[in-house]
Structure 1
Amino acid sequence: MSRTDDLLRELEEDAESSPSATSSTSEAGPSRRERLGGRLKRVFSLRYFVVALALALGGLFLVGTFLPFVPAVGLLGVFLATFGLGLVSARRHYTEVAVAGAVAATASVLADFFVFAVIGDSGATLAAAGAGAGALVAVLGHYFGRDLRAGLTEDL
């Protein structure tokens, strides 16, 4: 246990044993771990990330299947998937979408250029390029989807 937890426990024990303590003890506020978990959920939603990743991978696969000989066409699938998420999302989820786009594009680039990544010793460079491009395309898709949603739902 940390020193802070020990001090908090001692303060709670002192407050309970003091004569000024009433018989009806009130609930203590949320713990530090609960507050940190609440902040983390506001910054990064695991559920939204999983949905964004599944849609980005699906978009990569579908667009890559229909246009197999066009280089980097899978990024169009990531854009379309995150655009759709932006259309239906009421909150901003740029962090989740950026990470999902980066993971999906990195996996796609490394799968496409597996031989170069392993034998050519350029795996880190390919992964970085895929992650950067995927994150950028995903954030742009989400932004434009949210922008269209705002334009469609705004009163004239």
Structure 2
Amino acid sequence: MNGKKQPVSVLVVIYTADLEVLLLERADHPGYWQSVTGSREGVESLRDTAIREVREETGLDANQYEFTHWQLQNTYEIYSHWRHRYPEGITQNTEHVFGLQLPGRQQIQLSPREHLSYQWLHWQDSAQKVFSPSNREAILQLTQRVIRKMS
């Protein structure tokens, strides 16, 4: 891929048992809030990509908590201002959604290269704050997923 990103990525919604969601503010676009995201590198599995991205962006070890692949994928058009990161002619990305449930808020160690700050918000507030429609949809599904898991 000549140092370019693969058009395969993960979205990891990190949330607490009380349905507070962790949001990260992008360093390259202040004011843009999101969950953990990142592209697959090499031939790593989607699960390994998600675990790596959580560690790089938050300092958390996803293996220590309830970590699940939601069996949900989104295909979307890559924002034009980010297309230079991908091989020429690539305009679509396929994103695979994961959830990471923590028992409560955790201290986060941000990667300053990627994020300026973080905050924990109630799931409804976080859904309103994220810039990505697929991130918003994943957060809005959170209550259904937690209720389904409890039954």
TM range (shorter): under 0.3
Higher RCO (CA 8 Å, separation ≥ 6 residues): 2
Q: Which has the larger radius of gyration?
A: 1
Question: Which structure carries more helix by proportion?
Answer: 1
Question: Which structure carries more strand by proportion?
Answer: 2
